[in-house]
Amino acid sequence: MGLPIIKNQNTQANSVLAANTIAFTACFAVWVMFSVIGIPIKELLSLNNTQFGVLVATPILTGSLFRLPVGMMTDKFGGRIVYFILLLTVLTPLWFIGSATQYWQFLILGLLVGVAGASFTVGIAYTAKWFDRKHQGFAMGIFGAGNAGAAITNFVAPVIVASVGWQMVPKIYAIAMMVVVILYWMFTYTDPDHSHSTKVTIKEQLQVLKNPKVWKYMQYYSLVFGGFVGLSLWMTKYYINEYGFDLKDAALLGAIFVLPSGVIRALGGWFSDKFGPYKVTWWVMWVSLVCLFFMSYPQTALLIKTTAGDVRFDIGLNIWVFTALLFTLGISWGIGKASVFKFLSDEFPENIGVVSGIVGLAGGMGGFILPIMFGALIDFTGINSVIFMLLYGATAVSLIWMHFTFGKDERAKNIKHAVAEASNK
């Protein structure tokens, strides 16, 4: 069953959606590339956990900071040309990562390649323009499924590392990205709705920052997307350190979190269209809280003195229980990423580019800060599961904020609806 399109040609809208999603998938695979190649680089340069956290998070920084200006440019000039230029800027630094030998070189090239992360903002705004409001959530969810590009890195990069070395990963990615750029330009179209937006000033675009709802959505997205990026960058290393897997198996296990979290985003958009973004986001937060509570518990040995001698109990999550919880958390956050953006398409249809840029920036900054905090906390405490303790606290804050903001709005709506129904009887 096709989606209703607000443009004249259904085929153009579907082509744009497909091309945007493929391009975003490629960009996301590049964006989190250091989650795999960073591990042999860590060994090569003898980095500690904090330095490793900075290395894998560096591309996330520029990808986050550029989301706002890229979103503004999308509203002003149109999605097609902005997306095309963004894709081109990634190619050169991506190729030269394979030739880097010093820590500072990896950081600089990582900053340049990180621009790929801003592809989400231009793509989500460009996609939304082609669909009516009733179906925007589903369409944006399909586009957002490009998050699964992180799983491509988990599957492909370890194989390349084992076969020809980590240096070939960015070079092969650069060749693949060139193919994506060509296909993108061939199968996308200019959105005529942008023709009226060229006179909008930067000051007018930034007026949206005065809306307190935007700040609320920024906090939610910094958890569901920032947490997703942070764990995507860290889970391969977590499985190696906590459960003793090698790089290939650890990356495959990490994909159990990354892949469904990306793919399920389309279903999250459909849920948000059908049940409303508030209900969906509320349940996402509760499911996340429960999963993170159990995942936070460190591996513990309990020694009990008995009359027959000492009895030792090992308490902690085995690999199967932990992976099941991680899978559930990934599903939950994948749905939550879609529900937050459904809020934006409903409430800010005219300037979704700049709003999605602001909210995306907040989410990306969460993905940048978290790996650094993960590394610092592990270096300080020596406990691997401390990363989930941090995320548990952030989720609790989000739930409290929802209760005292959205909850109040929803109760007022329900009372108004009940009064209206009573008056009609």
For the chain, what are the domain ranges? 10-424
Compute the distance between CA of residue 69 and CA of residue 80 in angstroms, rounded to an integer: 15
Compute the distance between CA of residue 225 and CA of residue 31 in angstroms, rounded to an integer: 14
Average pLDDT over residues 66-82: 84
Reported as a pLDDT band with limits 50, 70 and 90, residue 383 is: very high
Residues 288/261, Cβ–Cβ less than 8 Å: no
Query: What's the pLDDT score for residue 7?
Result: 42
Compute the distance between CA of residue 360 and CA of residue 71 in angstroms, rounded to an integer: 9
User: Above 60 in pLDDT, residue 382?
Assistant: yes
Query: What's the pLDDT score for residue 6?
Result: 41
Average pLDDT over residues 115-133: 84
Sequence-ordered list of residues with C-beta below 8 angstroms from that of 303, at least 6 positions apart, any chain: 310, 311, 312, 313
Q: Report the percentage of the chain scoring pLDDT > 70.
A: 88
pLDDT in tens, 274-332: 888 888 888 999 999 999 999 998 888 888 888 788 888 877 788 999 999 999 999 99
User: Above 50 in pLDDT, residue 348?
Assistant: yes
User: Above 80 in pLDDT, residue 162?
Assistant: yes
CA 298 to chain centre: 26
Reported as a pLDDT band with limits 50, 70 and 90, residue 202 is: low
Correct CATH for 10-424 of 1.20.1250.20, 1.20.1560.10, 3.50.50.60, 3.40.50.2000: 1.20.1250.20
User: Above 60 in pLDDT, residue 352?
Assistant: yes
Query: What's the pLDDT score for residue 40?
Result: 94
Closest CA to 292 of 334, 340, 320, 328: 328
User: Above 70 in pLDDT, residue 420?
Assistant: no
Reported as a pLDDT band with limits 50, 70 and 90, residue 180 is: very high
Closest CA to 384 of 375, 393, 392: 375
Query: What's the pLDDT score for residue 410?
Result: 62
Reported as a pLDDT band with limits 50, 70 and 90, residue 192 is: low
40-49, 200-209, 285-294: least confident range: 200-209
User: Above 80 in pLDDT, residue 379?
Assistant: yes
22-31, 162-171, 363-372, 385-394: least confident range: 363-372
Query: What's the pLDDT score for residue 23?
Result: 95
Query: Which helix (H) or strand (E) covers residue 88, if one does?
Result: helix 79-96
| Residues in a beta bridge with 312 | 303
Q: Of 363 and 173, which is predicted with more confidence?
A: 173
User: Above 80 in pLDDT, residue 82?
Assistant: yes
Sequence-ordered list of residues with C-beta below 8 angstroms from that of 130, at least 6 positions apart, any chain: 5, 6, 7, 12, 13, 16, 17, 139, 191
Token output for 341: 């953006």
User: Above 70 in pLDDT, residue 1?
Assistant: no
DSSP SS3 for 109: helix
Reported as a pLDDT band with limits 50, 70 and 90, residue 146 is: confident
Average pLDDT, the chain: 85
φ/ψ bin of 78: left (φ > 0), alpha (ψ from -120 to 50), beta (otherwise): left
Token output for 338: 């879609």
Token output for 121: 């903002």
